[in-house]
A and B are shown apart, each in its own frame.
With several copies, the nearest count.
Chain A
Amino acid sequence: MPPVSLDPARAKQLSDEFGLKPDEYDRVLAILGRVPSLTELGLFSVMWSEHCSYKSSRVWLRTLPTKAPWVIHGPGENAGVIDIGDGLAAIFKMESHNHPSFIEPYQGAATGVGGILRDVFTMGARPIANLNALRFGAPDAPRMTRIIDGVVRGIGGYGNCVGVPTVGGEVNFHPAYNGNPLVNAMTVGIAPKDRIFLSAAAGIGNPVVYVGSKTGRDGIHGATMASAEFSADAEEKRPTVQIGDPFVEKLLIEACLELMATDMIVAIQDMGAAGLTSSSVEMAGKGGVGIELVLDNVPQRETGMTAYEMMLSESQERMLMILKPGREAEAEAIFRKWELDFAVIGHLTDTGRIVIRHKGIVEADIPLAPLESEAPLYRRPTAETPKQPVLDARDIADPLGPVAALEKLVGSLDLCSRRWIWDQYDSTVGGQTVQRPGGADAAVVKLEGLKRALAMTTDCTPRYCLADPEEGGRQAVAEAWRNLTAVGAKPLAITDNMNFGNPEKPEIMGQFAAAVRGMASACTALDFPVVSGNVSLYNETNGRAILPTPAIGGVGVLEDAAQAVGLALQPGLDLVLVGETRGWLGQSLWLREVAGREEGAPPPVDLAAERRNGDFVRARILAGEAVACHDVADGGLLVAVAEMAMATGCGATLDAPPPELPAHAWWFGEDQGRYVLAVRDTATLLAAAAAAGVPAARIGRSGGGDLVAGPGSSISVERLRAAHEATLPALMAAVG
């Protein structure tokens, strides 16, 4: 008996409400040869939502470089997998929870962390670190401090409880995020490289097993919500809020890793967006098999749940797996030990169809191949962002001089200390954190029992991306590579989280395409492939888009954790600037915060120089020649040195700017590909730089308690620190 079709008019109306376009609905009719049932319509709408199908972004994502000799699994799996030596693989991914975090900041952010953790441990990895890339609106925008507070508490509440250290991240503020903050969470895990678990189902007749928490009516249509832009009626979307239970997640990690140490699992996948639907459809689809589910066996938290509700529920902390036949009892014992639900809810078939039964009735019966192959794929029209003029620093007056501008900058929203945030994240659990937040350009986490360590970072400069999406995409990748390099790590691969506005607008799709182009060029030039990622579109409120934000999460390796350097300055060292300074003020923070202008072309990234400078710096660090290293990014040279100084309280005296540059361009220009190194033996370093063709110059010396920016310009590090540390606590004092 086929499922009971909806009344045709009702089906059409619902398909609209569920976000299917008219031509997409016609395709549903063609595939089924009849009007769908409610459950079937639900399945199609979530599988074909932007969130699950990547229908607007796929054509562009395909152009990203994804290969390198150390890449084990690139995009397409739950997370990316790379070889890091010692027989181990790093498994990592970043994912957005933007819309849920706007509606319910605590739970939205918390479940974002929970979801990305599952993407990583579902592949067999023990998670060893979390990072988070956050973009908030202007602090005086409605609800904004509450959103900041809730998001930070939610990330901490979840990560701290599961016992995975939160070791890094980034935060920006801009009014463009007022109605649409971004919460991107990243998890890095470790597994033996020959024991990676994939999601392709196999073995006709094999049992389909559900483990974890019970299913409730949470987050129904969360995936479609993530694919729609906000409007004033966002309130009405509230019932889709999901609640996280990090305690259950912790048990689920332990139980899954225990099961993964056996040979019982054929395939496994977390139930993320669109829960049971996407996990079952994707597992069966990837394996080219059919799947039959009996929903009566699904552990349920509420009474009277329908097939439609169970298939679309986004209840958290659940996994789906295919077991080898006859191993159910053994597997169940492990989950019972950890006090988790375990249920056989179906089996694999040779029909190539997904069949859903509930209470003796077939609620859905859909051929899997067309669900995938006929999924909509759009090459949406694009419009290029007009190029901005290149600003000449000589045309821009300096109203403040270096010291006052510096004090203002280090206390500004985008540069002030993030301590208020990271003080709420457990960054030491696990006992392997070599570089905690604030200590270095990238976090460094050692691998337990080994010398080896991973370095990780998240980076993106959205204001550059708005001004020039291609240059901005390139810069984001380059900065991640630079941050890993600055601790001495060899950068290996990235994950990305593409946050953009409504892709149906050509200028937004143009931003996306250009950002991908820029990223791809940097990935290629730096041997830094993309191994996983996530796309979040429709980040708009009442038609106003966020800044284009391709957040990059980078991972690198250090063979010996003891070789890692931080950015903290010590007295009695020479400061050496590596890289070329042309004094680029366009889109700089100085221009915005001091001159009050947000304009100009952003600084270009010269990928050949980037690579040359970075490889040089890394080699010097590994040779033990640098006591500290910091890349020059937001705010420019003087801010970089100030950050090194504030980390310990040790001051520095810097030489006067070179005569050929306006002073403010020297101090605050945001030219790319630069590093400041604190070294004992300058001559050796400079000789090596000359030999490598890398621009390098001694710019000053550390010591004392003041930062001196050329003769006559001096400020105490204590005073800078006070300005740096005061901003966020003052902002957040109102929320308590």
Chain B
Amino acid sequence: MKVKVTVMPKTGVLDPQGKAIGHALEGLGFAGIGEVRAGKVIELELTETDPAKAKAAAEEMARRLLANTVIESFRVEVA
């Protein structure tokens, strides 16, 4: 079973990378760009076949390793 963990900087936390990307896109001539936030996505193949259990496991992984919950928030999706 495939799960996807998306990790983003928490709202209000400075995101230097997102800022720089927004800047660069404007430099390339793209218009109408508002806030840009950059995060990580981790796709995991789990042997677990029960979606609820897979999700719970991935959430545990996110809390313990994948996300730094001091400054990042995460979201788990099961494919």
Contacts and interface: CB of A to CB of B under 8 A. Distances in A.
Decide if A and B touch, CB cutoff 8 A. Answer: yes
Interface of A: 103-104, 106-107, 213, 216-218, 238, 241-245, 247-248, 301-302, 315-316, 339, 734-736
Contacts of A216: 12, 14
A243 B14 contact: yes
Interface in B16-31: 16, 19-20, 23-24, 27
A238 B70 contact: yes
Contact of A104 (B12, B19, B23, B68): B68
B46 to A, nearest CB: 19
24 contacts: A103-B70, A104-B68, A104-B70, A106-B68, A107-B71, A213-B14, A216-B12, A216-B14, A217-B12, A238-B70, A241-B13, A241-B70, A241-B71, A243-B14, A243-B16, A245-B14, A245-B19, A247-B16, A247-B20, A248-B16, A301-B14, A302-B12, A734-B27, A736-B20
Tell me which of A213, A242, A243 has the highest count of chain B C-beta atoms within 10 A of its own C-beta: A243
A707 B14 CA distance: 44
Nearest to B21: A736
Nearest to B27: A734
Contacts, number: 41
Contact of A218 (B14, B19, B20, B70): B14
Contacts of B19: 245
A735 B13 CA distance: 24
Contacts of B27: 734, 736
A490 B71 CA distance: 45
Contacts of A217: 12
Contacts of B23: 339, 736
Interface in B32-54: none
Nearest to A244: B16
Tell me which of A104, A106, A735, A736 has the highest count of chain B C-beta atoms within 10 A of its own C-beta: A736
The 9 closest A-B CB pairs, nearest first, are A245-B16, A243-B14, A104-B70, A238-B70, A736-B20, A217-B12, A736-B24, A241-B70, A241-B71
A243 B12 contact: no
A104 B16 contact: no
Contacts of B14: 213, 216, 218, 242-243, 245, 301, 315-316
A243 B70 contact: no
Contacts of A106: 68
Given A216-B14, A301-B14, 14 more contacts: A103-B70, A104-B68, A104-B70, A106-B68, A218-B14, A238-B70, A241-B71, A243-B14, A243-B15, A247-B16, A316-B14, A339-B23, A736-B23, A736-B27
Contacts of A107: 71
Nearest to A238: B70
Contacts of A245: 14, 16, 19
Contacts of A736: 20, 23-24, 27
A87 B3 CA distance: 56
Contacts of A244: 16
